[in-house]
Structure 1
C-alpha cells in the first residue's frame, strides 16, 4: 500500500533527436520511432495519490517546448489499479506514462507483453545503477524485461509514543529503544510486558505487523512457479504464530488500518508502537495532530533488520503512440534531482542511489518527531533492504483480501488455528 499522503540528468536541454540517439537499443520493429524534434508531442501521465510531480511537469515542458503533458491524477490507489487492469485488457485508454504501485506490480509483471522494455527504449543514463538494486530488479519480468522505472520507496523503521513508553518505565531515547526492536521476538516480548503492565495496546493491527514479517521472508505467498506456498512455507507459519500469540496477550489495538478508528487511534494514544515506512510520518502527523507533536518518535531500527513497504514505478504501456518520448519523461521524473524535489514536496523517499547521499536529503529533519534526522535515518534503513521477494499474480490480493481479514477475525475472537484455515482457503480462491 502506498501512503495516503503522500532526481541526475544534466543535459536537460537535449533535443528529442539527441534523446533518441542515446537510447539503449531500438526496441522491437513495432516500436514507433521518436518524433521529429520540432514535432508537437502530447503525452499523458497517470498517477494516484501524491507523487510530488505538480511543479516538475511545467519544468519539463519548459525544457522541452514541443511537449505538452496532461496529468491524470486520482485519489485512491485501489480503484486506480482496477481501472489500469481493465484498460490493459481492453487494449486502450492507458496513459503514455502509467504509474504502478509496488503492491500491484505483480499483477502487471505477468502482462509484460503489454509494456515497453525500458532497458531498450529508455535513455542511456537511466541505467540499472541509478537505482538501489532491489528496487530496479523488482520491475523485471521473468524473461528479464524492465517494465518500470522506480520512483519512491518505503524503507521501514519503527515509530513509538515516548509518553507511553515513559509511563511504562521504558527508555524513550531513539538510540536507547533500539534493543526493543532488534528482532520480532524482542519486539513482541516487550509488547507483552507493556500490555501486562499498562493494559494498553502495544501495536495498532496484527495485519500490519504480519505483512511486514511476510515481506522479509525469502519466499512469500507464491513461489516462482506462481504456486501457493502456505502449506509448506514455515516462515509464514512462524510469523502467524508470533502475531496471533501477541494478539492473545493483549498487544493489539485490533484496529483496521486506514479506517476512521485507526486514524483516531493516533490522536487518542490507542497504541504505543507503529511499523513505520518513511511515508507513515506524514500519516502520523496528520492523524495525531499538532497537539501530539513531540510525543511520537522514530528510530533507525526494525525487527529482522529492515524491509520496504510502499513505493511505485513509472511504466510505458505499448498502447503509447510516443513510447520513446514517454520513456524519456519517465526517466527524467525518476532521476535523482527530480526525486529529491518530490521528496521535499510530498515526502516520497527516493529510490535512487545518488539521491540517498544528497545533502538535501540527508539534512532533512522533522520537528514533529523531535527534530529527528529523517532523511539520514531512512537512507540508512533503505540500505538494509536485500534482494526483493518474488511476488506472483494475486500476491497483493492475498495480503489485502485473505491475510488481513483472517487476522482481524482472530482479533475479534476466532482461534488462531481457525484464522489460519480462513487465510488458506481465501488464498486458494484468489489463486485458482
Structure 2
C-alpha cells in the first residue's frame, strides 16, 4: 500500500526557481518531437516510479503484447529524494526516464515547466481521452495554457477512520452509519471532539493538527498560492478559518500532538493515542501495519468526510521531452493508466484507481477488509472519490509551504505557542519560500 510522500525541502524550491528562469512556462517550446519508431523496430523504454505503483506484473505483460519493446523499470523507495533527482535531471536536460512518474504533492513544482514535457493530449493514443478519468484528476495535470503533461494513476479519496472501542467507551455512537453526522462538517467534527475529550477523561480526538489542517486547506478552491502564482495565505479567508478551527481544537485538548510518520505517531495507532484519523484510501494499510493484529476490529472506516470530499495522494505518468521515443512512451503510459491495468495494480498493491470504469469494476466494488470489520472498502472509497468536484489550483511552492511552513507552525502551537504567533510563523516561512 502506498504511503505518503513528503514534500520537497526548501532547498529544492530554490533549485526549481533557478530552473524556471531557463524554462518557458507552459507551452511546448520549439523542440521538435522525434519521429515514431518504424513498425517492429526494437525500442528500449525506461519507466521511473517510486514506492509502490503495482506495475511489477504489468511490465512483462506489456512486453509480451509488444515484442519489439523492452522496458527498464527504475523504482526507488522514497518520493522526496526521487523528486529531488528529477529536478536535477530536468535542469541538466538528460537522464530522465521515457515515462516518469510525478506525485500529486509535487506536481505544482513541474506544471510551470511545461516545455520540459510532451503534451499527452497531442501525442497519446486516442483511447486515452479525458473521459477515462475522473474530471478533477484529469484537469489537475494541465498547465495554464491547457497542455496535458500527465496521465493519472492512483488517487487518495478521503474518508474518516476511528476507534470503535474508544467511541463506545466515551458514550458516542460507534456504528459506521451512526457516526456519519459527527463527520458531516468540520464544525461538527471538532464539536464531537470536544465532547469526546470531556467524556473520555482527556483522551485525544485526533493525531495531529497539521494532518487535519492540510486536509481542510486542500478542500479550498485555491491553496497557499493563488491562480496568479503569488502567495495568497494572508488574503485567503478559507485558510484563516481553517487555522482558527484547528488551533481552537488544539486549545481544547483534542490533539495528540504527534508529528505524522514519526516513531511516536506510528506507535500511537497501537496504543490508542487518538480516536479519529483523516483517512485517504492508502491510510488503511498504514493503520493495519502500525496498529497491529491485536487491534483488528477496533478500527473502523466510514463513508463520510467533513465538508464532503477530498483527496490526499496519487500520481501521474509523464513523458519528458528528453525521451527519444515519446510516441511509444505515451502509449506505454496510456496502457498502464487504462482501467484494466489500474484494477490489476489495485489488486497487487492497493493503489486506488482514478479511472471512471475502474470505479465501477466488480473487482474493486467487492473488495472488503476484515481488519475494518469486513467493510466494503472498494465501494466506500469509490463513493468518496466521486464527491470531489474539481482540482484545487496549486501554484509553485505549494507543497513546500505545507511541509516547511504550515506543519512546523502548527506543531509549535501544539507545543505551547499562541495561535496568533503560530500564524505569523507560518506566514513568514511561506514568504521566504516564495520570494
Fold match (TM-score > 0.5): yes
Cα distance in 2, alignment partners of residues 22 and 429 from structure 1 = 21
Q: CA RMSD in A?
A: 7.5
Gaps in structure 1 of 5+ consecutive residues: none
| Contact 2:10/2:400, CA 8 A, preserved across alignment | no
Cα distance in 2, alignment partners of residues 6 and 248 from structure 1 = 27
* 3-state DSSP of counterpart to 2:174: coil
Cα distance in 2, alignment partners of residues 212 and 179 from structure 1 = 19
| Contact 1:12/1:63, CA 8 A, preserved across alignment | no
Post-superposition Cα deviations, 1:377-432, rounded to whole Å, max 9, x if no partner, equal 00000000011110000000000110000000000010000000000000000111
| Contact 2:54/2:348, CA 8 A, preserved across alignment | yes
Judged with a 3 Å threshold, the aligned counterparts in structure 2 of structure 1 residues 47 and 137 are, in CA distance, closer, same or farther, namely same
Post-superposition Cα deviations, 1:209-255, rounded to whole Å, max 9, x if no partner, equal 00000011122111111111112111100000000000011100001
Structure 1 segments, 4+ long, off by >4 Å, are 4-29
1:341 aligns with one of 341, 344, 347:
344
Cα distance in 1, alignment partners of residues 251 and 13 from structure 2 = 61
Judged with a 3 Å threshold, the aligned counterparts in structure 2 of structure 1 residues 338 and 8 are, in CA distance, closer, same or farther, namely farther
| Contact 1:26/1:121, CA 8 A, preserved across alignment | no
- Residue 288 of structure 2 corresponds to residue 297 of structure 1: no
* 3-state DSSP of counterpart to 1:371: coil
* 3-state DSSP of counterpart to 2:148: coil
Judged with a 3 Å threshold, the aligned counterparts in structure 2 of structure 1 residues 22 and 360 are, in CA distance, closer, same or farther, namely farther
Query: Which TM-score applies when normalising by structure 1?
Result: 0.94
Post-superposition Cα deviations, 1:289-325, rounded to whole Å, max 9, x if no partner, equal 1111101000000000010000000000000010001
| Contact 1:161/1:272, CA 8 A, preserved across alignment | yes
The CA deviation at 1:23 is 27
Deviates more, 1:47-56 or 1:215-224: 215-224
- Which position in structure 2 is the counterpart of 1:105? 107
| Contact 2:120/2:150, CA 8 A, preserved across alignment | yes
Judged with a 3 Å threshold, the aligned counterparts in structure 2 of structure 1 residues 394 and 17 are, in CA distance, closer, same or farther, namely closer
* 3-state DSSP of counterpart to 2:429: helix
The CA deviation at 1:13 is 43
The CA deviation at 1:37 is 2.1
Judged with a 3 Å threshold, the aligned counterparts in structure 2 of structure 1 residues 16 and 126 are, in CA distance, closer, same or farther, namely farther
| Contact 2:150/2:316, CA 8 A, preserved across alignment | yes
Deviates more, 1:7-16 or 1:306-315: 7-16
Judged with a 3 Å threshold, the aligned counterparts in structure 2 of structure 1 residues 87 and 172 are, in CA distance, closer, same or farther, namely same
Cα distance in 2, alignment partners of residues 203 and 213 from structure 1 = 14
The CA deviation at 1:196 is 1.7
* 3-state DSSP of counterpart to 2:238: helix
2:259 aligns with one of 256, 261, 285:
256
| Contact 1:340/1:355, CA 8 A, preserved across alignment | yes
Judged with a 3 Å threshold, the aligned counterparts in structure 2 of structure 1 residues 367 and 27 are, in CA distance, closer, same or farther, namely farther
Judged with a 3 Å threshold, the aligned counterparts in structure 2 of structure 1 residues 147 and 192 are, in CA distance, closer, same or farther, namely same
Judged with a 3 Å threshold, the aligned counterparts in structure 2 of structure 1 residues 23 and 323 are, in CA distance, closer, same or farther, namely farther
Judged with a 3 Å threshold, the aligned counterparts in structure 2 of structure 1 residues 292 and 191 are, in CA distance, closer, same or farther, namely same
Judged with a 3 Å threshold, the aligned counterparts in structure 2 of structure 1 residues 74 and 382 are, in CA distance, closer, same or farther, namely same
Deviates more, 1:303-312 or 1:188-197: 188-197
1:317 aligns with one of 300, 320, 324:
320
Cα distance in 2, alignment partners of residues 90 and 22 from structure 1 = 11
Post-superposition Cα deviations, 1:178-213, rounded to whole Å, max 9, x if no partner, equal 000000000001001111221x10000000000000
Cα distance in 2, alignment partners of residues 13 and 396 from structure 1 = 10
The CA deviation at 1:168 is 0.4
Judged with a 3 Å threshold, the aligned counterparts in structure 2 of structure 1 residues 241 and 11 are, in CA distance, closer, same or farther, namely closer
Deviates more, 1:247-256 or 1:7-16: 7-16
Judged with a 3 Å threshold, the aligned counterparts in structure 2 of structure 1 residues 10 and 342 are, in CA distance, closer, same or farther, namely farther
Deviates more, 1:10-19 or 1:117-126: 10-19
| Contact 1:9/1:332, CA 8 A, preserved across alignment | no
Judged with a 3 Å threshold, the aligned counterparts in structure 2 of structure 1 residues 320 and 419 are, in CA distance, closer, same or farther, namely same
| Contact 1:247/1:411, CA 8 A, preserved across alignment | yes
- Which position in structure 2 is the counterpart of 1:417? 420
| Contact 2:8/2:83, CA 8 A, preserved across alignment | no
* 3-state DSSP of counterpart to 1:283: helix
Cα distance in 2, alignment partners of residues 21 and 413 from structure 1 = 41
| Contact 1:96/1:317, CA 8 A, preserved across alignment | yes
Deviates more, 1:118-127 or 1:8-17: 8-17
| Contact 2:2/2:351, CA 8 A, preserved across alignment | no
Matches within 5 A, 1:51-62: 51-62=53-64
| Contact 2:23/2:115, CA 8 A, preserved across alignment | no
- Which position in structure 1 is the counterpart of 2:228? 225
The CA deviation at 1:32 is 1.1
Cα distance in 2, alignment partners of residues 57 and 23 from structure 1 = 33
| Contact 2:208/2:255, CA 8 A, preserved across alignment | yes
* 3-state DSSP of counterpart to 1:86: helix
Gaps in structure 2 of 5+ consecutive residues: none
| Contact 1:49/1:74, CA 8 A, preserved across alignment | yes
